[in-house]
Amino acid sequence: MDFKKIPEGYSEGIYKVKKYGITKKTFNHGKSFKLFAEELGGSDFISLNNYKTKQKELLKPCEMSEAKVVDFINKVKLLEPKG
């Protein structure tokens, strides 16, 4: 999984032929972040927190399976910002 491909702040991407608004916010000097993506014009969403410890990274999905989060991160195609 490459979380680095998703920029800080707001971006948009395509996942399973649907457009998503994606917000990523980093905390603790880059040691944790929150990601929330919602289907624009639909009801699907992706929500997770990620924490870096000295030993490993911890992925904590919110109200969904880890498999759904991993699939989204691996398959979302980011769109170029407008303007």
pLDDT (0 to 100) of residue 3: 84
pLDDT value for 4: 84
Nearest Cα to Cα of residue 25 among 56, 2, 48: 48
Mean pLDDT, 10 residues at a time, over the chain (83 residues)?
Answer: 88 98 94 96 97 92 96 96 70
